[in-house]
Structure 1
Amino acid sequence: MVSRGELFTECRSLIAARDEDTADFDTTCIFQDLLGDKNPMFLPKEPVPDDKAAEIRSLAKRRSEGYPLQYLLGQWEFWGCNFKVGEGVLIPRPDTETLVEQVLDICRREKLKAPKIADLCSGSGCIAVALKKELPDAEVYAVELSDKALGYLKQNTAANGCGDIHIIKGDVLKRETAMSLMGLDILVSNPPYLTSQDMSELQTEVTYEPASALFGGEDGLGFYRAMTELWKMSVKEGGFIAYEFGMGQHDDVKAILEKNSFTDVEFRKDGGGIIRTAAARNIIVNKPAIM
């Protein structure tokens, strides 16, 4: 049998041939997952059973070919919670925690202890679960169209103790879906926002993720235009929309929000210093009385 140290060196070299920067991290994650040990290199001379070594080599080979580490492991962490992931659902990313933080700050500022929140294009459910964890009295809805993503969404809400999140299978670009959820305090979404050019230049890892969760139209703004127009009546007067978007899209997203009667647009930067999210308030309109 091969030792842990020998196998680690072998697998690391295989992955490093593709990406030296992530080789240590990726190899360690694979070892932790398959050996069930948080510190697999604490005992480098420990022998690895042949069947386990074969599995580890297989995952390392797939990783060296560009297959996403998160899919190989079958789960990924977001907001301190574990989320099941696989082909057919977008992988949760740290940048999206910026969106969760912004929504939570709005709730604190506005003293919303039990807000009604809808998470559109919910995918794995990472946003909905994170918000429900922090706001246990909130009425949270997670809207998703993809059958594959819905499977992960249901698993993740249950596994994280958030079975009371209301899961809705629906197309966020259809009026009937928007009309089914009214009186929202907060609408939150990380919709598809990659442009046609972005899609043609994707890293190999990202090509395994569902295109429907990535492509936002020619200029990447299709979902923002359609969703804001369709869902603005679902957000109560004085309520909020909060969006995540791609690098350099903030001015366009702000213009879309303001065109649809949202004001006081607040941007927030992610950990890399990129403007990543925006939140805006629905303007209170004095509607004329019906005679």
Structure 2
Amino acid sequence: MVTRGELFAQCRGLIALRDEESADFDTTCIFQDMLGEKFPMFAPKEPVPDGKAAEILSLAKRRSEGYPLQYLLGQWEFWGCNFRIGEGVLIPRPDTETLVEQVLDICRREGLTAPKIADLCSGSGCIAVALKKELPQAEVYAVELSEKALYYLRQNTELNGCGDIRIISGDVLKSETARQITGLDVLVSNPPYLTAQDMSELMTEVRYEPESALFGGEDGLDFYRAVTELWKSSVKSGGFIAYEFGLGQHDAVKAILERNGFGNVELKRDGGGIIRTAAAVKALSL
């Protein structure tokens, strides 16, 4: 029977062959999940039952082949909340917390304690849940097309005590979906924004994520053009649209918003200093 220390070294060595920098973190996450302990290596000489050791080693092998750690664990943290995830739904990323921060900044500034919010392309529901947690009186809608993603979205709203989020199964690029929600204070979205070139250069890990949640057309801006045009009537005068986007797309997204009658565009940088989100207000005359 192998000890925890011996098994850890074996698993770390496998993962390090692919990514030395993340090997300690990834191995620790696998041990925490499989052994159900926050600090599993406090007892390095503790024996690991053969069956459990085989399971842990199998996960390490899959990780060494490029399979996403988040999918291996079946869960990931975002905004201090736990989200169940798996193949078919986009993995929540820290960059997206910038979008949540920007929406909350707007609500505080505008005195919106019970805003009507729609999260488009909701995926795992991480944005919708984070906003509902911070704004418990808000009326929050989460719109998603993918059945696989809806499966996780429904689980995550319940898991995080946000069962009153109104989930809509629909295509955000169709007018009949947009007509279902009107009078919005805030429309928020992290839509697909990778370009054709981006898609051809994806890391192995990202290739496991759903293409429908990644690819935004040849220039990555298809959703911004279509969503802004289709949904602007759903946003009340003086209401806001807030978007996340990719590196270097801020000027194009700003122009799309302005062409559709949204002004005072505010850009916000993520933790890495990249301009990651934009928010704009709908002109009162529209």
Determine the structure 2 residue equivalent to 1:267: 267
CA distance in 1, matches of 2:276, 2:21: 24
Determine the structure 1 residue equivalent to 2:89: 89
Q: Which amino acid aligns with 1:152?
A: Y
Q: Which amino acid aligns with 1:65?
A: E
| Secondary structure of the structure 2 residue equivalent to 1:20 | coil
Determine the structure 2 residue equivalent to 1:224: 224
Determine the structure 2 residue equivalent to 1:114: 114
- With the length of structure 1 as denominator, give the TM-score of the two structures: 0.98
Instruction: Find out whether 1:140 has 2:140 as its counterpart.
Output: yes
Determine the structure 1 residue equivalent to 2:98: 98
Deviation at 1:25, TM superposition (A): 0.2
Determine the structure 2 residue equivalent to 1:163: 163
Deviation at 1:232, TM superposition (A): 0.4
Deviation at 1:184, TM superposition (A): 0.2
Determine the structure 1 residue equivalent to 2:10: 10
Determine the structure 2 residue equivalent to 1:196: 196
Determine the structure 1 residue equivalent to 2:71: 71
CA distance in 2, matches of 1:15, 1:159: 31
CA distance in 2, matches of 1:40, 1:200: 39
Determine the structure 2 residue equivalent to 1:289: none
| Secondary structure of the structure 2 residue equivalent to 1:268 | strand
Aligned length: 286
Deviation at 1:83, TM superposition (A): 0.2
| Secondary structure of the structure 2 residue equivalent to 1:133 | helix
Determine the structure 2 residue equivalent to 1:172: 172
- With the length of structure 2 as denominator, give the TM-score of the two structures: 1.00
CA distance in 1, matches of 2:248, 2:64: 31
Question: Alpha-carbon deviations, 1:49-70, whole Å to 9, x = none?
Answer: 1111000000000000000000
CA distance in 2, matches of 1:42, 1:248: 45
| Secondary structure of the structure 1 residue equivalent to 2:112 | coil
Moved more, 277-286 or 17-26: 277-286
CA distance in 2, matches of 1:267, 1:25: 32
Determine the structure 1 residue equivalent to 2:209: 209
CA distance in 1, matches of 2:197, 2:154: 33
Q: Which amino acid aligns with 1:208?
A: Y
Question: Alpha-carbon deviations, 1:110-138, whole Å to 9, x = none?
Answer: 00000000000000000000000000000
Determine the structure 1 residue equivalent to 2:25: 25
Q: Which runs of 5+ in 1 are unaligned?
A: 287-291
| Secondary structure of the structure 1 residue equivalent to 2:21 | helix
Deviating runs (4+, > 6 A) in structure 1?
Answer: none
* RMSD across aligned positions (CA): 0.5
Deviation at 1:161, TM superposition (A): 0.2
| Secondary structure of the structure 2 residue equivalent to 1:76 | strand
Determine the structure 2 residue equivalent to 1:40: 40
CA distance in 2, matches of 1:94, 1:52: 31
CA distance in 1, matches of 2:257, 2:118: 17
Question: Alpha-carbon deviations, 1:203-223, whole Å to 9, x = none?
Answer: 000000000000000000000
Deviation at 1:29, TM superposition (A): 0.1
Deviation at 1:181, TM superposition (A): 0.5
CA distance in 1, matches of 2:51, 2:263: 59
Q: Which runs of 5+ in 2 are unaligned?
A: none
Deviation at 1:276, TM superposition (A): 0.2
CA distance in 1, matches of 2:37, 2:163: 30
CA distance in 1, matches of 2:94, 2:107: 21
